[in-house]
Chain A
Amino acid sequence: MTNQPLADNPNTSGQEWDPKILVFACQYCTYAGADLAGLSRLQYPTTTRVIRVPCSGRTNPQFVIRAFQKGFDGVLVAGCHPGDCHFATGNYFTRRRYLLMTRLMEFVGMDPRRFRVCWISGSEGPKFQQVVTELTDAIRPLGPNQKLRDIEPSVIGGISR
Chain B
Amino acid sequence: MKKVGVFVCHCGTNISQTVNCEHLAEVAKDMPGVVFSTEYKYMCSDPGQTMIKKAIEEHNLDRVVVAACSPRMHEATFRKCLSGTDLNPYLLEIANIREQCSWVHSDKNKATAKAEDLISMSVAKALKNESLTPSVIPIHKRALVIGGGIAGIQAALDIADTGYQVDLLEREPSIGGKMAQIDKTFPTMDCSACILTPKMVDASQHPNITIIASSEVEKVEGYVGNFDVTIRRKATCVDPIKCTGCGLCSQKCPAKTDSEFECGMSKRPAIYSPFPQAIPNIPIIDQTACRYFQTGKCKICQRICTADAINFEDQDELVTIRYGAIVVATGYALYDHRDKYGEYGYGQYTDVITGLDFERLVNASGPTMGKIKRPSDGQEPKTVVFIKCVGSRDATKGHEYCSRACCMYTAKHATMVRDKIKDSQAIVFYMDIRTPGKNYEEFYLRAVEEYGVTYVRGRVSRIYMENGKLIIQGEDTILGTQVIVEADMVVLATAMEAQPDATEFARKLGITFDQNNFFNEAHPKLRPVETFAAGIYLAGACQGPKDIPDTVAQAGAAAAKVVALLSKDEMTTEPIIADVNINRCSGCGFCVPVCPYKAISLKTLTERVHGSVAWGPTGREVTRQVAEVNKGLCQGCGACTVNCRASALDLLGFTNEQILAEVDAL
A residues contacting B by CB (< 8 A) are 1, 18, 20, 22, 27, 31-32, 34-35, 37-39, 41-44, 46, 48-55, 57-63, 66-67, 70, 72, 86-90, 93, 97, 129
CB distance from A159 to the nearest CB of B (A): 21
Residues of A within 8 A of B370 (CB): none
List 14 A–B pairs whose Cβ atoms lie within 8 Å, in order of A's numbering. A20-B666, A38-B70, A38-B99, A46-B107, A46-B110, A49-B114, A53-B638, A58-B637, A58-B639, A58-B654, A60-B642, A63-B656, A66-B664, A70-B664
CB distance from A7 to the nearest CB of B (A): 21
Residue of B nearest to A88 (CB): B596
Residues of A within 8 A of B636 (CB): 54
CB distance from A8 to the nearest CB of B (A): 19
A59/B664 in contact, CB under 8 A:
no
B residues contacting A by CB (< 8 A) are 70-72, 96, 98-100, 103-107, 110-111, 113-114, 117-118, 121, 512, 520, 532, 576, 594, 596-597, 635-639, 641-643, 651, 654, 656, 659-660, 662-664, 666
Residues of A within 8 A of B117 (CB): 49
Residue of B nearest to A41 (CB): B103
Residue of A nearest to B653 (CB): A54
A60/B105 in contact, CB under 8 A:
no
B664/A89 in contact, CB under 8 A:
no
CA distance A88 to B510 in the complex (A): 12
Considering residues B107, B512, B639, B641, which has the most beta carbons from chain A within 10 angstroms of its beta carbon?
Answer: B639
Cβ 8 A contact of A43, one of B96, B105, B113 = B105
Cβ 8 A contact of A27, one of B72, B594, B659 = B72
CB distance from A61 to the nearest CB of B (A): 7
Residues of B within 8 A of A22 (CB): 663
CA distance A71 to B313 in the complex (A): 76
Residue of A nearest to B520 (CB): A88
Cβ 8 A contact of B642, one of A38, A51, A61 = A61
Considering residues B641, B643, B659, which has the most beta carbons from chain A within 10 angstroms of its beta carbon?
Answer: B659
Residues of A within 8 A of B512 (CB): 88-89
CA distance A48 to B111 in the complex (A): 11
CA distance A41 to B660 in the complex (A): 30
CA distance A72 to B121 in the complex (A): 14
Residues of B within 8 A of A87 (CB): 532, 596, 635, 637, 639
B104/A90 in contact, CB under 8 A:
no
Cβ 8 A contact of B104, one of A41, A57, A63 = A41
CB distance from A114 to the nearest CB of B (A): 15
CA distance A42 to B101 in the complex (A): 11
Known: A31-B72, A43-B106, A70-B663. 7 other contacts (CB 8 A): A44-B105, A54-B636, A57-B639, A87-B635, A87-B639, A89-B596, A89-B639
